[in-house]
Amino acid sequence: MSIIFPLIFIFISFAVLVFLSVRHLSQASLLNVDTIPGIQDKRKKAEIFLRKADEQLSTTKQEWKKMFVPLRRFFTAVQFRFRQYVFKIETELHSFRHEHTNEVATKKIKATEEEIRTIMQNGDYALEQKDYDTAEAAFISVIRIHPKAGAAYIGLGNVYFAQNQFVEAKESYLFANRLDPNNDALMMKLGELCEEKHDVDGAISYYQQAVLINDSISSRFFRLAELLQQEQQYSTAQVAVEQAVELESQNPKYLDKLVECSILVGDKDAAMSTFQQLRMVNPENQKLSVFQDRIAAMK
């Protein structure tokens, strides 16, 4: 109600001014309005009224704002509680969907174990046939069904390795390694990958990890000995090839390497003993006379 009276008063004043303007319209072109005392008084009163009306309107707005503050707070609280409710519903719905999805996924995995084996076999066969696109698609399809299938990542790494895509191959192998850190065959794959990239130190490191996990494969010790000898780590190379000989005592290639390493480290007794074994296992070895002369020259 407090805002209505000022507005009515403004309207009446405006009407009075219009009436006076129309009444004195004929004289407007002849008189200067500013020189008429009555008009000046009315204009001043109108200006004072308008200022008061503006002040009253401003006061009214402030009062309305004060009235709306509690309402705004109320609606804000209601919105907050509503958002909380919606969030709770969405959280429960997401949880339900997640549990339902996991249940379906579990059933799917159980239902496709045989299928996964078949796809893996197809992928391995395609890789052997150098059909890399088919092999890649097979291993990826297994990963989609079973994201933690380490063998599929290794297969995928082998596909990339065969195509000299070493970055992709390493990524696949390392992911498989995170899933199965004690996979000695995977360590060998990583070592081979390092060799392809001419990273001998990296290859030695991976091969050493492989033989620590599984020390029953002689060829791994032999390859490790070759790289160690290449890096002039003769004592360690001798130890590695000795392990290979222990596993295959009649292997002429291993005996040959052990004679060589024993000579390089200056171990005359080991060199002579291994030389005798080599001569018995492979008497036709053309390096026998050379080895005999080198051993004889040792102090």
Domain boundaries, the chain: 111-199, 215-299
Please give the CATH architecture assigned to the domain spanning 215-299: Alpha Horseshoe (1.25)
d(CA 45, CA 38): 11
Q: Give 127's pLDDT tier (boundaries 50, 70, 90).
A: very high
Band the pLDDT of 146: cuts 50, 70, 90. confident
Looking at the predicted structure, is the pLDDT value of residue 70 above 80? Answer: no
What the block records as the tokens of 224 is 């490790």
Is a pLDDT exceeding 70 seen at residue 28? no
Band (pLDDT 50/70/90 cuts) for residue 69 is low
Q: What's the mean pLDDT in 226-235? A: 95
- What is the dihedral sign for C-alpha 146, 147, 151, 157? positive
- Comparing 23-32, 194-203, 247-256, the range with the smallest average pLDDT is 23-32
Greater pLDDT, 141 or 15: 141
Which pLDDT value is given to residue 179?
92
* pLDDT for residue 147: 87
The residues, any chain, with a CB within 8 Å of residue 299's CB and separated by 6 or more, are 266, 268
| Confidence band for 84, pLDDT divided at 50, 70 and 90 | very low
Summary mean pLDDT of the chain: 77
Read off the pLDDT of each residue in 286-294 and give the average, rounded to a whole number. 92
State residue 26's pLDDT score.
40
CB atoms within 10 A of CB 203: 22
Which residue bears the tokens 């290979």? 244
Is 11 in a helix, a strand, or coil? helix
The answer to whether the pTM exceeds 0.75 is: no
- CA–CA distances in Å: residue 288 to residues 244, 259, 265, 281: 20, 10, 19, 12
Q: Can you tell me the distance from the alpha carbon of 186 to that of 96, in angstroms, rounded to the nearest whole number?
A: 38
Asked if the domains 111-199 and 215-299 are classified in one and the same CATH topology, the answer is yes
Indicate if the alpha-carbon torsion angle 164, 175, 219, 261 is positive or negative.
positive
Give pLDDT tens digits for 175-184: 999 999 999 9
Average of per-residue pLDDT across 118-140: 93
Is pLDDT at 34 greater than 90 in this prediction? no
Q: CB of 263 within 8 A of CB of 298?
A: yes
Per-residue pLDDT, averaged over 8-16, amounts to 50
Topology (CATH level 3) of domain 111-199: 1.25.40
Higher pLDDT, 44 or 256: 256
Task: Write the pLDDT tens digit of every residue in 194-203.
Answer: 999 999 999 9
